[in-house]
Chain A
Amino acid sequence: MKVAIIKYNAGNIFSVDYAMRRLGIEAEITGDPEKILSADKVIFPGVGEAETTMSYLKAHNLDNLIKSLKQPTLGICIGMQLMCKSSEEATSGKVDCLGIFDEEVKLFVPDEKTIKVPHMGWNTVSAINGNPLFDGLTNDPYFYYVHSYHATVGIDTIATTDYINKYSAALHKDNFYAVQFHPEKSGKVGELLLNNFLKL
């Protein structure tokens, strides 16, 4: 199986590659459109800031490329946020994103100061309609999160987490899947989810 990990100006891309190797998959980290288009599975990972990563994608025409993908594609963390309609993580307060999912990405605004932002650590994820991405993952498993922005809940939401407010932990539409947490850093349950994605 050919797995492409999209290379762009976001951090933490290598940890997804390491996670793939632990599953016995030699993925290719690449920004080459042909390699991405010909892969069986595409992963769009990363940790970063929405506005700068979005401008990079546009400058390298990766925005249209990602939208045109037909194979199963998994966005992780900032990858998921960039697949949404827009994000508040921008100097102007709003940046247009890829618009694959109809959700908006908003900053966490805690109502008491004892609630910490970023949302960092392990939190429970509730899958809501038996999506194959969550096969074998019952009883609201804990996944590892690090983020200050979150996608709203809507028609494409397949799992939610409650932190400050309920938000989309995972989204799915057609061939596009996305998770806000880091499966590559979530121990056994993360490996299970990545394996589920590879089986799609």
Chain B
Amino acid sequence: MLAKRIIPCLDIKDGQTVKGVNFLNIKSVGDPVELGAEYSRLGADELVFLDITASHEGRKTFKDLVKRIAENISIPFTVGGGIHELKDVETLLAAGADKVSINSASIKNPDLITEVAKNFGSQVCTVAIDAKMASDGEWTCYLNGGRVETDKKLFSWAKEAQERGAGEILFTSMNHDGVKQGFANDALRVLSESLSIPVIASGGAGKMEHFKDVFVDGKADAALAASIFHFHEIAIPDLKNYLAKEGIPMRLV
């Protein structure tokens, strides 16, 4: 039985792990390779490393970090942040990343998804979508870490991304991110049932029940979280044992 995936996300700035609460207010939580290896040992199914460095030197640091991760960690990992063109994707894959997560650049230039899928295969191409639900219930996509509103709507954009060759959708609900009251299960269910590619849920994990809900009600294929893991609020082995007991297919290590 295909297991549901638990994915810790590590935000990286200048080679260090950080996590923004509501995309702001950053606290350092350690060395990415060490933290990643520890998560792998604890039973994380995949890892996501997002580069939030803006500088050119920071980019170089991140590429070196990707190579160190590939050398040291024996589970799949996705890297994202600051991918603008095909060359960036090529560099990160060559450094050893299994997948890349493309966010703002895919909205600004949807052809990038097509090019990545054509050149490297859909399996490497995760399209990340940050979206916010307005009071009328409509979900709109945002750019640049949630700072810039676009004219793209969540469900139609996710569908387009799939048609262009995305291998997975990583959906972050800006309404739920950092609030710890559970994932955006209604929107996730619509996404998951309308797409033929896997959906990774992000934003809102606060307690173990939220993960059960995102798999049962949200029909997500994978759930991503950061601070609750980094700050030891939920231990991955406890979470996976709990979910397995609740009847959700889990890989227990």
Residues of A bordering B, CB below 8 Å: 11-12, 14-15, 18-19, 21-22, 47-49, 110, 113-114, 116-124, 142, 144, 146-148, 162-163, 182, 184-188, 190-191
**Binding site of A, secondary structure by majority: helix, strand, loop or mixed?**
mixed
Separation of A190 and B75 alpha carbons in the complex (Å): 9
Residue of A nearest to B194 (CB): A113
On whether A118 and B251 interact (CB within 8 A), knowing A15-B98, A185-B74, the answer reads: no
Interface contacts (Cβ under 8 Å), in number, total 92
Separation of A191 and B74 alpha carbons in the complex (Å): 8
Contact of B121 among A21, A47, A113, A123 (CB under 8 A): A47
Nearest CB in chain B: distance from A10 CB, A:
10
Contact yes or no, A187 B253, CB < 8 A: yes
Nearest CB in chain A: distance from B193 CB, A:
6
Contact of A114 among B70, B121, B193, B253 (CB under 8 A): B193
CB-CB under 8 A from B1, the residues of chain A are 123-124, 162
Separation of A187 and B74 alpha carbons in the complex (Å): 5
Residue of B nearest to A14 (CB): B96
Contact yes or no, A11 B167, CB < 8 A: no
Residues of B bordering A, CB below 8 Å: 1-5, 40, 45, 70-72, 74-76, 93-94, 96, 98, 120-124, 167-168, 192-193, 195-198, 219, 221-222, 251, 253
Nearest CB in chain B: distance from A165 CB, A:
13
CB-CB under 8 A from B221, the residues of chain A are 116, 120-121
Residue of B nearest to A124 (CB): B1
Contact yes or no, A121 B124, CB < 8 A: no
Separation of A58 and B221 alpha carbons in the complex (Å): 38
Separation of A19 and B72 alpha carbons in the complex (Å): 8
Contact of B196 among A113, A163, A188 (CB under 8 A): A113
CB-CB under 8 A from A15, the residues of chain B are 70, 96, 98
Contact yes or no, A116 B70, CB < 8 A: no
Contact yes or no, B2 A146, CB < 8 A: no
Contact yes or no, A187 B40, CB < 8 A: yes
Residue of A nearest to B121 (CB): A47
Name 24 A/B residue pairs within 8 A (Cβ), A-sorted.
Answer: A11-B121, A14-B94, A18-B71, A22-B74, A47-B121, A47-B124, A113-B196, A114-B192, A116-B197, A117-B196, A120-B123, A120-B167, A120-B221, A121-B198, A121-B221, A122-B2, A122-B3, A146-B76, A184-B74, A185-B75, A185-B76, A187-B75, A187-B253, A188-B253
Separation of A194 and B121 alpha carbons in the complex (Å): 25
CB-CB under 8 A from A117, the residues of chain B are 196-197
